Amino acid sequence: MYKKFVFLVLILCTSLALCGCNKPSAMILFNKYPITKENMLENNTAFVAGKRIYYLFITQNPLKTKMIRVMVIKRDEKANFALTKIVYSNDFRLSSDQVYYYNDYLVIHEAGYYCMKVYSRDDLERPITIGDFRVTN
């Protein structure tokens, strides 16, 4: 019995050491109000159609690219959250002081579940980060 217990503990420690669990190095924060230092960490994911959705894209490491692409895709809730159509896509040039963040707003007039992806213009295959939000009437 003792050997089995030691074997299980050894397997658990090995799996935790080799699992590759990394915390995300970038994220998108959404808010109903313009983002300031005071409300920066108040993340909202439910919004009203026709109102501004402010977002802040922040990274832990400085971005090596000068251009990013922000893409918003509508998800179909009836098709097991499959991506259905691109609602918004735009490229932005980052200024020299924006190597760790980018903030802006957008307005969506149709209710549904949405997914925002931020890409580096150098690599449009893999997004830097993904954020989900919901718009209601």
DSSP 4: H
To which H or E segment does residue 6 belong? helix 2-18
Domain boundary assignment for the chain: 20-136
Predicted confidence at residue 6, as pLDDT, reads 65
Tell if the pTM clears 0.85, that is, is over it: no
Helices within 1-137 (DSSP H only): 2-18
Tell me the longest C-alpha to C-alpha distance in the chain.
Answer: 64
Q: Is the CATH number of domain 20-136 2.60.40.1930? A: yes
Predicted confidence at residue 20, as pLDDT, reads 58
List the chain pLDDT tens, one digit each, 137 residues.
777 766 666 676 666 666 655 555 899 999 999 988 888 888 888 999 999 999 999 999 888 888 999 999 998 777 665 667 899 999 999 888 888 889 999 999 999 999 999 999 888 899 999 999 999 98
